[in-house]
């Protein structure tokens, strides 16, 4: 159930990250949602390692949003340099 919960949170986080960081993304809205899912997994992994979350606990919404915004920012930097 933890995996499904992380995926659902990730989808919502991807949408929230897109609204927090508006603008043209090199990959579009679907890539932003995928980054939200990745952000949720990263936040879950780091949170469990730092002792913020238990082993059976997924990242919270705010932690996942922060992870997704960071990943989206890095993605825009990397993808933007390739387009130039």
Per-residue pLDDT of the chain (84 residues; tens, 9 = 90+): 567 776 777 778 888 887 887 777 666 667 777 888 888 888 888 888 888 878 777 767 788 888 888 887 887 788 776 655
Residue 31 lies in domain: 2-83
What size, in residues, is the chain?
A: 84
Instruction: Look at residue 6 in the predicted model and tell me its pLDDT.
Output: 65
Burial class (CB in 10 A: 0-12, 13-18, 19+), 37: buried
The pair of three-digit structure tokens given for residue 15, joined into one six-digit string:
């949408």
CB 5 within 8 A of CB 58: yes
Give the H/E segment covering residue 56.
none
pTM for the full predicted model: 0.69
Q: Specify the number of domains making up the chain.
A: 1
């Amino acid at each position: 159930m933890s995996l499904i919960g992380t995926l659902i949170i990730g989808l919502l986080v991807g949408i929230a990250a897109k609204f927090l960081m508006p603008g043209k993304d090199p990959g579009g809205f679907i890539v932003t949602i995928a980054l939200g899912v990745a952000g949720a997994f990263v936040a879950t992994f780091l949170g469990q390692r730092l002792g913020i979350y238990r082993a059976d606990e997924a990242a919270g919404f705010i932690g996942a949003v922060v992870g997704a915004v960071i990943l989206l920012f890095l993605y825009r930097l990397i993808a933007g340099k390739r387009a130039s």
